[in-house]
Copies of this chain bind each other. A is one copy, B any other.
Amino acid sequence: MDDDRVRATETSVRMLEGIVELGGEAGITELATHLSVAKSTVYKHLNTLETSGLVAKRGDRYRIGLRTLEFGGHAQRYDGVYDTARPQVRKMADETDELANLMFAEDAWGVYVHTSRGDDAVEIDTQTGRRAHLHATGLGKAILATFADDRVERIVDRRGLPAVTEHTITDRAALFEELEAIRDTGIAHDREECIEGMACLARSLSVPSERPAAISITGPVSRVTTGEAEATIRRTLEQAANVIELNLSGSA
């Protein structure tokens, strides 16, 4: 039950994480002290990971290898949601000139899976693959709103409700109230809960896939929360979601 795991694999994964924590690049001694393991251990693991392509060696420095991206590609598209949603996300960005996003939920985390920038899009890093707490983003809340309460409870138990900004919801009761409101309107709002100065509108996708998904449009509070702009964004979200859902229900 507890030894049904492979420690060597866990160590290798910690090496990958360590490289990221050290700024995306590390040497052997550096990584050894960071992880508190022997140099020789790090040496062997990095050797192995390099042969597999999971890390790349340049001189005496190690970085994450592009092979991880190959696996990442498979993770993105094992259901058809990514491929179907991608053009619609771009369309949203073009229509609103803001930043449009697609998120999947997995393992009680939200993961940004695709992003498209309109002409006026803010320069924040919603890079592909980044994980976020579900309670702290509009996308995440839109997804949580599709879950039964006990499922939300279990997620909160696992990940907690850490504050990302001072506007983040950190209270369980407040969260459930918010989710109820989202279920009524179909739209999740995020006002500086994730990034100071930024607001976003999000909507979950009801698709045949078992993997929860949502789309959103993000911009500065001043542009996104004013009455007229908000109505436009809402409409854009609805249309994009409808197209995606229609395409996927047809093919299923």
A→B interface (CB under 8 Å): 4-13, 16, 19-20, 24-25, 43-45, 47-49, 51-54, 56, 58, 63-78, 87, 104, 106-107, 109, 111, 113, 117, 127-131, 210-211
Residues of chain B within 8 A of A65, CB atoms compared = 75, 106-107
Check A71/B72 contact, CB under 8 A, given A12-B12, A127-B77: yes
Q: Check if B75 sits within 8 Å of A64, measured CB to CB.
A: yes
> Can you name 7 A-B pairs with beta carbons within 8 Å?
A4-B43, A5-B44, A64-B71, A64-B78, A65-B106, A72-B72, A73-B128
Q: How far is the CB of A230 from chain B (nearest CB, A)?
A: 27
The docked-state distance in angstroms from the alpha carbon of A28 to that of B24 is: 33
When all copies of this chain in the complex are counted, the total is 2
Residues of chain B within 8 A of A74, CB atoms compared = 19-20, 24, 63-64, 68, 129
Residues of chain B within 8 A of A53, CB atoms compared = 106-107, 109
The docked-state distance in angstroms from the alpha carbon of A63 to that of B51 is: 23
- The CB with the most chain B CB atoms within 10 A, among A51, A64, A66, is that of A66
The docked-state distance in angstroms from the alpha carbon of A4 to that of B129 is: 31
Residues of chain B within 8 A of A129, CB atoms compared = 66, 69-74
Residues of chain B within 8 A of A107, CB atoms compared = 53, 56, 65-67
Query: Closest 9 A-B residue pairs measured CB to CB?
Result: A72-B72, A73-B129, A69-B72, A8-B8, A69-B129, A68-B71, A70-B129, A64-B75, A9-B12
Residues of chain B within 8 A of A51, CB atoms compared = 5, 10
The docked-state distance in angstroms from the alpha carbon of A43 to that of B5 is: 8
